[in-house]
Chains A and B, each alone.
Chain A
Amino acid sequence: MSDTLRIENIELPDGGAELRLGGRLTLAAGAAAWDQLRNRCASTASEVRRIDLSALELVDGAGAAELLSLRARRSMAGRPLELVGASEETGQLLDLYGCPNDHTCLKEAPPSPTALEEVGKATVGLLENARDVLDEVGALVSATARAIRRPRSVNWREIPQLMERAGADGVPIIALINFLVGLIIALQAADQLKRYGANVFLADLVGLTMTRELAALMTAIIVAGRSGAAYAAELGTMRVNEEIDALRSLGLDAQRFLVMPRVIALAAVAPLLTLLGMVLGCLGGLVVAMTSLELTPAIYWGELQRAINLLDITEGLTKSVLFAITIVFISCQRGLGTRGGAAGVGRSTTSAVVAILFSLIVLDAIASTLFNSVRNG
């Protein structure tokens, strides 16, 4: 039995043409058979009116689908095509794969929205997103008020575990990153300071940058990557697994049961992690001060104490709490709003991390401006 498709042209008395198929029209015959059939249909000088299947040795489901699709396409173009001579088996297969009408045999053309429609959709999407964020703010505020009235309704039991996951488990990476950031800043500045004989001011530069700004920001970025993404994925999975509905059916509030424990846990550990980041960042600077600028630890430490005041540390710690609340708020909002299975969880997680990073930078700029006004005012 041949594995290929054979096609014979037969002129019909009415001027049209018939294609008589032989061999096999199967998935195994591959693209060559498909192309051969379509090309012969298109290139035959006379109009192909019929396809005779009587000499076909084998047709499978794919072959039947192709024949039906060919017939539907021709019929919709106003050039009807008849399938004749089908054996009993082939006839049954064509019935099985048959369509109620020609349209349903063909793939529906995907909608192609105009640019204006795209802009409209994007705008509606933005407005809906803003509404969801406001909804979540409202829900969280209302949950906080209820939690104050009924402290027992908060899921306190989960908080230690959440603090451990977000805090203790994150210490090594946060310590290392902040140490390296302090070291890099010092390395970049060391040459310039040496040139002006201002070696000792390395402590001022590293100390102020780390305490006011970078310890809080770098720590928040790592926390966003570790805990923020985890919260969005966890709550998103709970949403698609109906666990959030199950909570509601038990009379429990997702805000108080899931979101508030995370807010409390992260707001508690973020300042501690940031404080650790400040210390490690300054130690990174010390390594460069000792190796490149020949400063002693005592001189570096003395200069640090002179340069940094309580307001600088307060600025870093305040930012860390703001960042922590932002991380939990956005990740939980995206997680609880998840739709559409595993892909939806992925989308929520990505969207949460991007939104958190953007919000952290904006929030940092606002907080820095405010603290600068306090410092200068």
Chain B
Amino acid sequence: MAEERTGTQERGTPVVGEAGLPDTDQKILVRARDLAIGYGRKVIQQSLDFEIRTGAIFAILGGSGCGKSTLLRTLIGMQPPLEGEVEIAGVESLPPPLDTPPPFGVSFQSGALFGSRTLLENVALPLEKWTDLDQRAVEAIALARLRLVGLGGYENYLPAEISGGMQKRAGIARALALEPRLLFLDEPSAGLDPVTSVELDELLKTLNRNLGVTVVLVTHELDSIFRIATRCIMLEKGARGIVALGDPRELRDASDDPRVRRFFNRLPSSA
């Protein structure tokens, strides 16, 4: 358990219930132990200890360059940790194994759709590879996923023919194709207009509430954090460790750490 720096939670105390479930019913889905992240010899963050429980919408927060996306890449096994370890459902998170269906869904910052494939083909790809369903069933599921993210009617469009927000939503539809119980998202609402951003947040809440998907997202959009996140960790460039961990609303209202107050109250560093 990460050390709470805000005074709202003591080391080792139970995590506040998430998604309305009693704490005792919640399993630890993701666990980071004494994690150091970075590239080559460059350490971006270290001494990261935290847990993510089933049913949470867990946000990784912080300003630009603090290592949020690097942490996400380390959690999903795309980048080896410099120190420490990450466990997902009790298994060490190595690069996702080949020749087996992925254990979680990932939506990348840019959507990362395959440019030569239509939206339908993008979403259908994991289904074609990892199920024995016939083409008709695969297409029906892929269409349903696109409708779920509000892209019904766009199935035959190429990624280049739709807006950035739509690409992100299509990326989420592809990440959801194989019904993952755990979804990682990198900056899902960055660069979106306010309405699309709210719609995306509502979608994530729906997935979390109705389909029981645990969501881990990297973001620095405060409105989005307060709308959906049940728990968060905050990183800061140069701080080398978790600055704060807890419910974002509690951190905003009760933290006595000036860095946390500054971030959550949108105050400039000179304030």
Given A242-B109, A242-B112, A243-B112, residue A251 in contact with residue B97 (CB < 8 A): yes
List the interface of chain B (C-beta within 8 A of A): 73, 76, 78, 95-102, 105-106, 108-110, 112-115, 125-126, 129-130, 171, 174-175
Chain B: minimal CB distance from A7 (Å): 33
List residues of chain B with CB within 8 A of the CB of A252: 98, 125, 129
Rounded to whole angstroms, the CA-CA distance of A150 and B130 in the bound complex is 13
A241 at the B interface (CB under 8 A): yes
**Which residues on the B side are within 8 Å of A251 (C-beta)?**
96-102, 126, 129-130
Q: Is the CB of B102 within 8 A of A249?
A: yes
Q: Which residue of chain B has its CB nearest to the CB of A252? A: B129
Within 8 A of B (CB), among A295-352: none
- The answer to whether A245 and B112 touch across the interface, beta carbons within 8 angstroms, is yes
Q: Which parts of A203-256 form the interface with B (CB within 8 Å)? A: 237-238, 241-243, 245-246, 248-253
Interface secondary structure of A, over-half rule = helix
> Is A194 among interface residues, defined by CB-CB distance under 8 A?
no
15 contacts across the A-B interface (CB closer than 8 A):
A241-B110, A242-B108, A243-B112, A243-B114, A245-B112, A246-B112, A246-B174, A248-B95, A250-B125, A250-B129, A250-B174, A251-B100, A251-B129, A251-B130, A253-B99
Q: Tell me the minimal C-beta distance from B111 to chain A in angstroms.
A: 8
Q: Residues of B contacting A242 with CB < 8 Å?
A: 108-110, 112
Residues in chain A near residue B76, CB distance under 8 A: 249
A246 and B106 contact, CB distance less than 8 A: yes
Are A146 and B108 in contact (CB-based, < 8 A)? Answer: no
- Is A253 within 8 A of B112, CB to CB? no
| Most A C-beta atoms less than 10 A away, residue of B96, B98, B112 | B98
Q: How far is the CB of A162 from chain B (nearest CB, A)?
A: 11
The answer to whether A92 has its CB under 8 Å from any CB of chain B is: no
> Closest B-chain residue to A244, C-beta based?
B112
- Residue tally, chain A, CB below 8 Å to B: 16
Taken residue by residue from 25 to 48, chain A's Cβ proximity to chain B (1 for < 8 Å, 0 otherwise) reads as: 000000000000000000000000
Partner of A253, one of B98, B115, B174: B98
Q: Is the interface of B mostly helix, strand, loop or mixed?
A: loop
B113 neighbours in A (Cβ, 8 Å): 243, 246
Q: Does A153 contact B (CB under 8 A)?
A: yes
Q: Given the complex of chains A and B, what is the CA–CA distance between A242 and B174 in angstroms?
A: 14
Other contacts beyond A246-B113, A249-B108, A251-B98: 6, CB < 8 A: A146-B99, A243-B112, A245-B73, A249-B76, A249-B105, A250-B125
Contact, CB under 8 Å: B98 / A250:
no
Give every chain B residue within 8 A of A246 (Cβ-Cβ): 106, 108, 112-114, 171, 174
A250: contacting residue among B73, B102, B110, CB under 8 A: B102
Q: In the complex, A249 Cα to B96 Cα: how many Å?
A: 6
- Complex alpha-carbon distance, A241 and B106, angstroms: 14
- How many Å from the CB of A247 to the closest CB on chain B? 8
Tell me, in angstroms, the Cα distance from A228 to B113 when the chains sit together: 23
A166 CB to nearest B CB, Å: 15
Central interface residue in A238, A249, A253, by most chain B CB within 10 Å: A249
Q: Is the CB of A250 within 8 A of B78?
A: no
Q: Is the CB of B106 within 8 A of A150?
A: no
- The interface centre, meaning the residue of A237, A250, A252, A253 with most chain B CB atoms within 10 A of its CB, is A250
**A150: chain B residues within 8 A (beta carbon):** 99
Residue in B96, B114, B130 whose beta carbon sits within 8 Å of that of A248 in the complex: B96
- Roughly how many angstroms separate A312 CA and B12 CA in the complex, as a whole number? 78
User: Separation in Å of the A278 CB from the closest CB of chain B?
Assistant: 33
In-complex Cβ contact of B115 among A153, A243, A245, A249 (8 A): A243
Residues of A within 8 A of B125 (CB): 250, 252
Residue of A nearest to B130 (CB): A251
A249–B171 Cα distance when bound, in Å, is 12
* Shortest distance from the beta carbon of A121 to any chain B beta carbon, whole Å: 15
What's the least CB distance linking B135 to chain A, in Å? Answer: 11
A120-146, CB < 8 A from B:
146
